[in-house]
Structure 1
Amino acid sequence: MFEKLKRHLERWERGERLDDRALEELEAEFETWLDTELGDIAHQADAGQGEAALGRLTRLNAFASAAATQRPSLANVVGAKAAAFRAALQSIGLSLGAAEFSITLGVPVALSVTLSFRVTPAGEAKPESAK
């Protein structure tokens, strides 16, 4: 499923620009693909693989943002999926023990995710909530 989109992602990671054909194929399945990928990422984090899930979310975020800058209609899809990106990030944050997380969507397309962790200096006791 979504083999063409996965190939476009791999090509983009190798530095190739998304051509018109690739963007048309992305546009046809982008929303469904994002739903599937974000759901899979959340499940991966829920299964205790937060680091791998964070890597996948970062990769997906970068690709979606790059595609949306070339095809403005995709920016609307990314914006509509902000809640799904947030849910995936929340699962990752819980898996990794993050103190807090945030997601910001900017215009034209800038999806930013942040995880924050509490750091306890050596020799100090961890707060009860962090144990």
Structure 2
Amino acid sequence: MIERVSRQVQQPVSAAAQRARQGAGFQGLLQQELQKAAPAPEVAFSKHAMSRAEERGIEITPSLMDQIRGSMVRAQAKGATNILAMDSEKAFIINVPNAKVITAITQDEMKDSVFTNIDGAVFL
């Protein structure tokens, strides 16, 4: 009777469990899953946003693009579709599903502005 119970308890081991036992461990599995994940989409500026940024003296640097992309990814994880991404000097309205910056605003213009049709705000 003891033999029967011990045979029933032993069940086939999943492939993930086998890899973990072979030394891949949690960290290895996590890295594999992260590599499978889609990279963050590239952010594009609409013609309107580019002209507004130029008019308002907002410099679009690689660092700023990384901040905007990060804001967009965080907002997407929460289900937001149109966000206001801002810091103390500038703000951007971003359409998250299309990964497109709709407009750019400076600090002076933020004072009198009312932002509509957004469902989230993210600080850069």
Shorter-chain TM range is under 0.3
* TM-score, normalised by the number of residues in structure 1: 0.24
* TM-score, normalised by the number of residues in structure 2: 0.24
**If each structure's strand is expressed as a fraction of its own residues, which one has the higher value?**
2
**If each structure's helix is expressed as a fraction of its own residues, which one has the higher value?**
1
Bigger relative contact order (CA 8 A; separation at least 6): 2
Between Structure 1 and Structure 2, whose CA radius of gyration is higher?
2
